[in-house]
Structure 1
């Protein structure tokens, strides 16, 4: 169960308490094969994959923490559980304050709506009132560098344009916790540098940060602590330099 914890000065911003998450794997490779098996009275074989196995950690208010691991280790699943996109099968996840998650490029955007309309939609999903969004709209567009494309349907946007607009909306929310999953790898070098600088600014303001990235340079720049996950289990939690070295060895 994902729960919003009331704001108190002594409460950690994020608590992951003995969390497990499993996904169902089906052995048939397509809907067609599943349908044929069903019509022939055959059982569709399936089993489960454990993405996270009894993982626990806490992130204090204002901390910047990297979640590290190889592909398939459970990093993105961890962020999705914290954001509330997924529910744990075991254990509990608690967050404090307003949480913004940059977990999937374009998540929360409607392809048939324009960039302008999606700014208001995405901001509302993140808890902003329409008046707040209106007051910050010009700043959101300016940071995203979308410019003349803001009134175009987002289904015509590139992945980089999606990311820039989604990131810009999220960072203009009065947030307490920011979850970032690899979105900084999208876009050109100048924009990535601008995003990194903005995240550092948010950190200095006391925003709690949880970052997933395969770039050791990025996480060392943004985070002071690293949590390493391997095959769904937490295997290291400590200084970011030691975490990166642990992962690379």
Structure 2
């Protein structure tokens, strides 16, 4: 029987060629990483307190005042397209290559023979890193943010949302459902000294000591996770634990 790490690699074997291709096509241009922008306009949407994390031929990835985001470079204003060296022809070619790669992909259910994983897909480190990225995406989802107004009942937490440090979960056994806390539920709006002028809906938030290890931006509260999301984190934790053993 395959363990969690091996099962994950085998089910992804059919995608090996596509993963490698897209890895080359979407290699991030790190020259803009960590660049900070007061605002970033994407079509009709405007993001504030933006930190650019990476830029590819087609997309920009960033964090902002309400969480994480990404957008097509072609949707930026002309001056920002120029700033990020957007090339419409290259972007179009890259997107077409992505479409072609997706069209060539055959789902495992369409092939009764067991796929042979590519060497890259057998790497426990790569499998673990992908599982960690998925956990971070679930844990750090954007939360509703509103402007503070006169008369609003806002409970202020100090200093900040979270204490320093975090406990590393026991990836093999922990159930994050058991450590989910609703400490903000009793307040309609909450905020901290790190978030002047804005407030968050208390009943939409949670704290979980067993997911804090993967909190990315601790200046923002964390979304209350659903049962399905926590079960998925448990599954990903088992993969991480299995791969950690293989890497020792």
Common fold, TM-score beyond 0.5?
A: no
Max radius of gyration: which structure? Answer: 2
Structure with the larger RCO, 1 or 2 (CA within 8 Å, 6+ apart): 1
